[in-house]
Structure 1
Amino acid sequence: MNEYMSGLNLVDMISEKHKVLRDKVNQMSGEPLNKTETHILAMLEQHGVLSISEISRLISISRQGTQKTINNLLAEGYVDTAAKEGNSRDKPIVLTAKGTAACRSMLEIKQNIEAEITARIGREQVELLRTLLTQDWL
C-alpha cells in the first residue's frame, strides 16, 4: 500500500486513509450499517433531534436518499420519529436505545483504533496530525 499511496496527491491520500479507517470501524462494530447510515447516526448523536431535511443538508445527499436511508434505520430500530406540533410533513428523527448503543460502540472502536495508531506512530505525531487537521486550510 505504501507504493500506491506515495503516488497519490494529498486529497486522494486523505480519502484512502479515511476509507480504510471507516471500513475498519464498520468491520469491528459488527453492525450491518453502511457509510451513509453511520453518518446519519453520528449526526443524530451530535445534534440530538433532526428533521430529514436537516440531515440531508448536513450530509450532502438528496432528501430522497436521506428518506430511503432513514426508512432502513427505522426498520432496523436504530432511529425513531417524534411528533412535532404544526409540522406533519417533516417529522423529527431521534436515536433509539439501539442507535445510541451503536454510536457508543463505534466511539469505543474509534478510540481503540486511535490508540493503535498512537502506538505505531507515536503520541507527538498523532498530536501533530490532530493539529494539522483542525487548522483552517480548506
Structure 2
Amino acid sequence: MKDYILGLNLIDLVSEKHNALREKVNETSGEQLNKTETHILAKLELHGMLTISEISRQIGISRQGAQKTINVLLAEGYVETAVVEGNSRDKHIVLTPKGIAVCRSMLEIKQSIEAEIAAKIGRDQVETLRKLLTEDWL
C-alpha cells in the first residue's frame, strides 16, 4: 500500500481508489479509451440514446468537449448518430455493435475485479461497501 493513502480524507481516498479501479479496467480491456470516452460509453449503455447536450450535462463537460470526444468515438466505430423522427435539430448518439461489445467486455472485467476484491477483503465487506455507496448521503 502506498503510504500517502493513510493520510487522505474520505473524498480523496474515494477518488484515488476510483482512479486505480478505472486504470485497471482500461489496462485489462486493451482498449485505448480515455476516461471521458469510457464515461460516455457507460452513459450510452445505461440510457440507450442521448443527445450531445445530454451527454455533456451528465458527465459534466462542455458541449464542445463532448462533441470532440464523440467525434473520436464516431471515427473509431464505437458510436453512431441516430435519426429521431420529429427532431432534426439534435444529434442523437447510440452505441454501435462494437460499442456494445466493448461495454460488455468492460462489465466482465469489472465483475472479475470485484471478485478479486472480494477474495482479498471478503464478500461481506464488498456488500457492505456497496450498500454504503448506494445510500443517499450526498
**TM-score w.r.t. length of structure 1:** 0.97
Structure 1 stretches of 4+ moved >6 Å: none
**Shift of the alpha carbon at 1:86?**
3.5
- State the percentage of identical aligned residues: 75
Partner of 1:47: 47
**Shift of the alpha carbon at 1:89?**
3.0
* Rounded Cα–Cα distance in structure 2 between residues aligned with 1:90 and 1:62: 16
Give the aligned residue type for 2:5.
M
5 Å matches for 1:1-138? 1-138=1-138
Q: How many residues align?
A: 138
| Higher strand proportion | 2
SS at match of 2:117: helix
Listed as ranges, the gaps of 5+ residues in structure 1 are none
Listed as ranges, the gaps of 5+ residues in structure 2 are none
Partner deviation per Cα, 1:38-69 (whole Å, 9 max, x = no partner): 00000000000111011111111100000000
* Rounded Cα–Cα distance in structure 2 between residues aligned with 1:136 and 1:88: 38
SS at match of 2:75: helix
SS at match of 1:80: strand
Give the alignment's Cα RMSD to 1 decimal: 0.9
